[in-house]
Chain A
Amino acid sequence: MKRRAANLLFFILMCVLAVIFVLPILIVLFNSFKGQFFIASAPFRLPTVDTFAGIRNYVAGIEKIGFFSALGYSFFITVTSVFLLVLLSAMTAWFLVRVKNRYTSALYYTFVFSMIVPFQMVMYTMSRMANLLGLENPVGIVVLYLGFGAGLSVFLFSGFVRSIPIAIEEAAQIDGCNPLTMFFRVIFPLLRPSAITVAVLNAMWIWNDYLLPYLVIGTRYKTLPVAVQYLQGGYGSRDMGALMAMLVLSILPIILFYALAQKYIIRGVVAGAVKG
């Protein structure tokens, strides 16, 4: 009886907290429908007949930041980088775990070491390097994401590869598999759960990343975070309405993705945290 009463109390508390958690997004949402001069002066007031702006902010924002091309670049860069990162780091991890010598373990520890290096350490030199090699485009930046994301991905995959019994590989070898067919037919399917973890963690990072795309391709190709920051503009020229609308449009794809793949996202994040 006492426990039931307590649970009811906790239920109400959680409801209140859930509302508080959602409120910031709701506030941005209803402000995105107000005229731009009614936002900063009274952000907590709902739109009224006088302040309602319809979808004007959305139209202005989409035009100002080139929303759809930004969405396209973000999508292309994230999907390509995540796909290649998952594939190539699984291949690398398998090789490094199964071929044991001085060089492979040196390479493995260099990958692990790169995980603790903050981006600011290589920020300048990496963007110079990209400059030198002509990587300042949506395809070239994928190479940088592969390189900078390699550490964590190889580390996570290596942990999982070690748990694959070597007997499976020996059996496949007797059946006549060469390393490539063995990897795609036997190893990679076994690594599927960890591939989801690696994909989720990298997708969250690359989709939301600001500094790398800003420094390397920001002037010509704006990804979503770069485009949103660009709206900030010079002082005084900032269009609050367009900003609110673009915040809503940047959150929307994330919420959609979350609604579809919630199970995998949460599982991936937990597995990644425990390993990292």
Chain B
Amino acid sequence: MGRSLKRWFPVFVLPLSLAFLIAFVIPFLFGIYLSFTRFTTVGDASFVGLSNYVTALTKDENFLRALWFTVKFTVVSVISVNVIAFLFALILTRGIRGTNLFRTVFFMPNLIGGIVLGYIWQLIINGVLLRFGVDITYDATYGFWGLVVLMNWQMIGYMMIIYIAGLQNIPPEMQEVAAIDGAGPLQILRHVTLPLVSSSITICTFLTLTNSFKLFDQNYALTGGAPGRESSMLALDIFDTFYGAVGSEGVGQAKAVLFFLIVAAIALVQLRISRKREVDV
């Protein structure tokens, strides 16, 4: 097929490749270039070397604060989402009544968009905080835990579905044999079940990790970074740097490149771990 198919390049590959060139390749390369310039429009870019990066990492305290906020948020939500989702999955693979209905309900929030989710939780969290006479913009800690709750509500069902698929792949005999050998439920969980779902654990960990790290819509709608920019995560801080004030576009683009490098590093670690696992199995 290869040889006769080759001539069909303009039909099969060209349309998508052109869109890819316009929407990704050129903007990506141009974005790297612009991070080394000062500009307000694409036309007036002047080369300034590394100064945007220096500004982003030293003079502009927002970036490092946002990075720290993002890291804390990511760690807390990765752990909480995965632990809770795994417990849900364990319960929902025991064959209790209504299992399908429960799965449907827990998964549903995942389909709702980030902006809408942000406003739903803003209403609820402000309603709770009302009793203490404050609202979510009073302190970045409220914004932080608000985001954690929101993220759990959104992601638990999704991860639960993946864990359920993993748990259902375990042959039941393995647990039965372990039980006959005298292992208690916790020992079975620790030495039989967990090792057998380790690939699901890797997948879910990295899915929550990248989703939490790149979060924008939820952050934007829930607190908008308030108070000040204290509850801004990285993506929101980059957005604010670009569009918040004229003249800082170059710094915004430099922050975006740094953001990309961190996300790429996470992806590389994930690739290595999953490659290694394929070899092991």
Contacts and interface: CB of A to CB of B under 8 A. Distances in A.
Q: Do A and B come from one complex?
A: yes
Interface of A: 7, 10-11, 13-15, 17-18, 21-22, 24-25, 27-28, 31, 39-44, 88-89, 91-92, 94-96, 98-100, 107, 110-111, 114, 116-126, 128-129, 133, 135, 143-148, 150-151, 154, 166, 169-170, 173, 178-180, 182-183, 204, 207-211, 224-225, 228-229, 232, 243-244, 247, 250-251, 254-255, 257-258, 262, 265-266, 269-270, 273-274, 276
A21 B105 contact: yes
B193 interface: no
Interface of B: 1-2, 4-6, 8-9, 11-13, 15-17, 19-28, 30-31, 34, 41-42, 88, 91-92, 94-98, 101-116, 119-121, 123-124, 126-127, 130, 153, 157-158, 161-162, 165, 203-204, 207, 214, 216-217, 220-221, 234-235, 238-239, 242, 249, 252-253, 256-257, 259-260, 263-264, 267
A147 B97 contact: no
Contact of B23 (A31, A143, A224, A255): A143
Contacts of A254: 111-112
A95 to B, nearest CB: 4
Nearest to B157: A21
Given A170-B1, A211-B216, A225-B115, A129 B107 contact: no
B105 A147 contact: no
Contacts of B107: 266
B162 to A, nearest CB: 5
Contacts of A262: 104
Nearest to B257: A121
Q: Which of B108, B109, B252 has the most A CB atoms < 10 Å from its CB?
A: B108
Contact of A121 (B112, B157, B256): B256
B16 A88 contact: yes
A224 B116 CA distance: 10
Nearest to A153: B16
A13 B28 CA distance: 49
B197 to A, nearest CB: 13
Contacts of B34: 124-125
Contacts of B41: 128
- From DSSP, what is the main secondary structure of chain A's interface residues? helix
A27 B124 contact: yes
B70 to A, nearest CB: 12
Contact of A150 (B20, B116, B124): B20
A125 B27 contact: yes
Given A28-B123, A124-B252, A179 B161 contact: no
A121 B114 contact: no
A166 B94 CA distance: 42
B256 A120 contact: yes
Contacts of B88: 17
Q: Which of A117, A151, A209 has the most B CB atoms < 10 Å from its CB?
A: A117
Contacts of A91: 11-13, 16
Nearest to A89: B16
A199 to B, nearest CB: 14
A179 B4 contact: yes
Q: Which of A15, A21, A250 has the most B CB atoms < 10 Å from its CB?
A: A21
Q: Which of B5, B6, B130, B252 has the most A CB atoms < 10 Å from its CB?
A: B5
A210 B114 contact: yes
Contacts of A10: 91, 94, 96
